[in-house]
A and B are shown apart, each in its own frame.
Chain A
């Protein structure tokens, strides 16, 4: 009976959610990207839709900028969430990036998300949902809902038989407590087939400006995509932005840049400088990757690094000193920096520098 009632009101609510044509001038409430001030995005119809059980097709719109180029995709979703024979309606507006990745969501203040016990989501719950949806590798992508719940044990609670099992430990931390089914439904809507369709559409209209916009975004997925689609001259022209990405992005993005540093800027050593200067500002794994290219690095690099010995791991310091041992000559500044380091009582690996200087004599 409850199911019949729920589905009856779903149609009404869906009509109430009809996409608006008004330009969007503010970011989604929960958003993974940067929203530049003054941005205005206009909804534009696409051929894409998401089919929702018992609710039919729900349109996906492109949000286009002043060049009429898509910046985001969005869909207003009304979907039933059913658990233990009871269905409720979930209303939410999702956003996707140009590459089909999750970008964010808006909630409807008048139609808050609710948990299994009918409690409304609080702010922390929405934040948790946002984090979950941004996790494209979450275990729920590979499991059916039944596999996320420990085998239910028939038990009597206050005289009523209850069959719901507990959420398995590996998923429990990432889902909103008491809202596994809503989280599961939302995750699969966001990460469904629509992702590939949207990405394919973006690629079909991709131009240089879109690629560069991605390079200048804060989204690691965009940054990697841009680097894969930039030519050699773009690397040089936009080296300052690449250096900024190198300083501020994830270790994964840094690893790609580090591996390209000595090839993309082979004939322009001066352009490598901001990257080597950032050596002490980045994570230790990225430093290790940079060290693997020391032999191909410009001549000024040993001096730059000799001023940053304190951040080096044991292996990095060993590698650096071995590189110097195999090099011809050692300039005075570099030598002095190593000498100072070797005298430091606070440096755990100062002894390696002492041994190096001893052999160097």
Chain B
């Protein structure tokens, strides 16, 4: 693994130097050894690249190190692409320095407002190679995207559009990935929905690629985010029990036990090719049919093109549909649009006029009592968010959504807002002497999203479908869980913290989600499963929990098998093969008795 990273760094160097003489670009996520820094690819679509994050929850992390090779010795100007994640009248929280051949350069980094380049210094390269290290100073989420060495004193571009072009040029990267792989089904997003879709399709003999941008599976249920799975198993108990969680408190370290179960189970399927740490970055449709999905390794940058007759978008944010041109919705429909009125909660449930409000994202966290006293640094940059709020742990109510933030475009700001809320609230709690021995134990660095893009299918599932328990001939997902919609408590009282939500629960009868909500209306070979399925804002309130989204995944996995059998697209399963599809779902509920035991 280490060797391959060195190869890539060298590869980038060689191509770069061949075109630009003396310029070398090092992507931070490709460092030989990230040390205590973590690769954060969550915001690649917004800021241009995965980056290294010094998420030390208040204690500086170990250095990230790498070797950089140069074709020519000489004097090089050095820039680092970074940002101050909380600009203001205080010392930047995420400060770090660069160390070259053992010497720490004076320039403090992580100071500029907004992603861009900070000039570090001019260095001498005398032996065609240097050792570079990122030295975290604060432990509070410093971030480094890339380091650029150039014999010319010309700062690289900062604007996102120009930067993308510049990166391509510097890396001499051709448009098409160098490797193409073909499958029966390509599933993008390894949350519960994507895992279930992959398992269901694989059990029916399909060759499946499962692409996921994290090192572990499960999305919001993973040990990295730690939300427990809710909802019922419906028709898919056997499959969902392979990947769900116990009902531990949200944020509990017990999530690690279910992580192993999930990863082991998915990996046990020989015909699932699992591409962990790969993030999709493009999908191309022709004649309303997706031809391929391109993905990039989040550390090495190696790219692969995935081709298949059919695709599953279980990315949560509906990225595949978005790139392919699928219709989608974002925000709240008016109460009139689908008649989704609940008078008791009025505007909080569905507004008179439509708007862009959605349920927010959570960042879970916790602390622990210890035998010795622990201090926690002053965090003045967190206080404008946390204010007087004092807590020692955060559950699902730690959630942020505001009209100023789009859950996709502003996801990094949302994560950072939650980090300020957490660090500030914990610092406040530490002022209480009863918390003298308390130590911050874990803070997720991942945004656990509830709602973003909702792709449009042949049926849009609404609150009324749930409320009335509407039966559909193709009702493949079953749920009994209340519909609950979250809102920020600050809406009703400005004194409340803006990062705390409340839930409104509507008790429903058993309800059903039709198969027609699980494939795209206008992209002919695209399934969707997970929170980006076809529904209204209020319709998402119930089935957004993870056993339900897992049911969606399993349902599309089996549909994909029939699509292959008859060489048809998802819609045609409903119009021409519905009975066989429902029979297939019924039959899979139990393990088949082996022929030898019949």
Contact = CB atoms under 8 A, between A and B. Distances in A.
Contacts of A343: none
A313 B402 CA distance: 12
Interface in B337-380: 346-348, 351-353, 355-356
A250 B353 CA distance: 18
Given A348-B113, A351-B114, A250 B491 contact: yes
B404 A256 contact: no
B490 A251 contact: yes
A256 to B, nearest CB: 6
B410 A315 contact: yes
A347 B340 CA distance: 43
Contact of B494 (A256, A283, A348): A283
A260 interface: yes
Given A252-B347, A255-B403, A256-B347, 8 more contacts: A137-B502, A251-B494, A252-B492, A259-B351, A288-B402, A288-B403, A289-B403, A314-B413
A123 interface: no
B504 interface: yes
A255 B87 CA distance: 28
Contact of B356 (A256, A286, A292, A348): A292
B346 A285 contact: no
A316 B492 contact: no
A316 B404 contact: yes
Nearest to B355: A259
Chain A's interface size range is 20 to 34
A346 interface: yes
Contacts of A287: 404
Contacts of A260: 353
A224 interface: yes
A348 B405 contact: no
B434 interface: no
* Interface SS of B by simple majority: loop
A252 B402 contact: no
A224 B402 contact: no
B175 interface: no
A283 B404 CA distance: 11
Given A137-B504, A289-B355, A348 B87 contact: yes
A316 B89 CA distance: 20
Interface of A: 137, 142, 220, 224, 228, 250-252, 255-256, 259-260, 283-289, 292, 313-316, 346, 348-349, 351
Nearest to A260: B353
24 contacts: A137-B504, A220-B492, A250-B493, A251-B491, A251-B492, A252-B348, A252-B491, A255-B403, A255-B491, A256-B352, A256-B353, A259-B353, A259-B355, A283-B494, A285-B402, A285-B404, A286-B403, A288-B403, A289-B355, A292-B356, A316-B404, A348-B87, A348-B113, A351-B113
A142 B507 CA distance: 10
Contacts of B505: 142
A243 to B, nearest CB: 18
Q: Tell me which of B347, B351, B402, B403 has the highest count of chain A C-beta atoms within 10 A of its own C-beta.
A: B403
A292 B352 contact: no
* Interface SS of A by simple majority: helix
Contacts of A349: 113
Contacts of B355: 255, 259, 289
B352 A228 contact: yes
A256 B335 CA distance: 13
B402 A348 contact: no
A250 B402 contact: no
B331 to A, nearest CB: 11
Contacts of A255: 347, 351, 355, 403, 491
Interface residues of B, number: 28
B88 interface: yes
A142 B504 CA distance: 10
A314 B353 CA distance: 26
B382 to A, nearest CB: 16
The 3 lowest CB-CB distance pairs between A and B, nearest first, are A288-B403, A288-B404, A252-B491
A174 B537 CA distance: 30
Contacts of A224: 346-347
A268 to B, nearest CB: 19
A315 B113 contact: no
Contacts of A313: 404
A349 B288 CA distance: 42
Contacts of B348: 252
Contacts of A252: 347-348, 491-492
B531 to A, nearest CB: 23
Contacts of B413: 314
A250 B346 contact: no
A259 B347 CA distance: 12
A292 B405 CA distance: 12
Contacts of B89: 346
Contacts of B410: 315
A284 B114 CA distance: 20
A2 to B, nearest CB: 36
Contacts of B498: 285
A270 to B, nearest CB: 23
B345 to A, nearest CB: 8
Nearest to B395: A170
B13 to A, nearest CB: 32
B350 to A, nearest CB: 13
A315 B346 contact: no
A334 to B, nearest CB: 22
Nearest to A252: B491
A287 B402 CA distance: 11
B408 to A, nearest CB: 13
A283 B348 CA distance: 18
